[in-house]
Chain A
Amino acid sequence: SQTIHQWPATLVQPVGSPLSLECTVEGTSNPNLYWYRQAAGRGLQLLFYSVGIGQISSEVPQNLSASRPQDRQFILSSKKLLLSDSGFYLCAWSSRSSGNTIYFGEGSWLTVV
């Protein structure tokens, strides 16, 4: 069966510090991968999606970036965090074989102070 893991689960970072969130998927090949952000009490905002290694599409302009160095690995990064980057970050995957159903990781809570 397919599983998705992301880490760290929680982090508190000062303004201006770098960020790296990592996500891996197991049990499927060539998945579509996604990074979402959810502000407190708000809906899901799609940040990036990827249909293959090195292929990244950005949905919103921001100081975040994403990379996909391996088929089942997705990384969200920032060189300098802003207060507005605080939120709940979710990695997710989908595939044709899953009927394009999106499955989410456990999420990472980021607080920028």
Chain B
Amino acid sequence: QKEVEQNSGPLSVPEGAIASLNCTYSDRGSQSFFWYRQYSGKSPELIMSIYSNGDKEDGRFTAQLNKASQYVSLLIRDSQPSDSATYLCAVNRGTNAGKSTFGDGTTLTVKP
């Protein structure tokens, strides 16, 4: 079992729809959770971080964390073609080394 698991996709949604990306993790000691967006051929860029159970909203993005279920998700409202990318989930134990474990990513395609 991978430490961080994501559906590889591809996930395809029409423009304007809500895209839902899911991530599960195995380490119950994980304290910090991150979502990154990676366009083809580019480096990952941070979208959101979340540290507490519940929802965190930033513009069209909402991250949801449920530590009891070891589950973190990212919702993208009003999806745009420019949201088409691979989304990486990362978790961190919060130790001094700060190492994060990354999932393999979910590829999202938003169709006009």
A residues adjacent to B (C-beta < 8 A): 32, 34, 42-44, 46, 49, 51, 57, 90, 94-96, 99-107, 109
Size of interface on B: residues with Cβ below 8 Å to A: 23
CB < 8 Å: which of B32, B45, B97, B105 contacts A99? B32
Residue of A nearest to B2 (CB): A43
Contact residue among B90, B96, B103 (Cβ-Cβ distance under 8 Å from A96): B96
Partner of A49 from B88, B90, B99, B103 at Cβ < 8 Å: B99
CA A108 – CA B45 in complex, angstroms?
15
B contact set with A: CB distance below 8 Å: 32, 34, 41-46, 49, 51, 88, 90, 92, 94, 96-100, 102-105
Closest to A57 in B: B97
| CB proximity of A88 to chain B, nearest CB, Å | 8
Which of the residues B41, B44, B98 comes within 8 Å of A100, measured between beta carbons?
B98
Assembled-state Cα–Cα distance A14/B19 (Å): 43
Q: B105 touching A100 by the CB < 8 A rule?
A: no
Q: Contact: B96 with A51, CB < 8 Å?
A: yes
Contact of B34 among A49, A101, A107 (CB under 8 A): A101
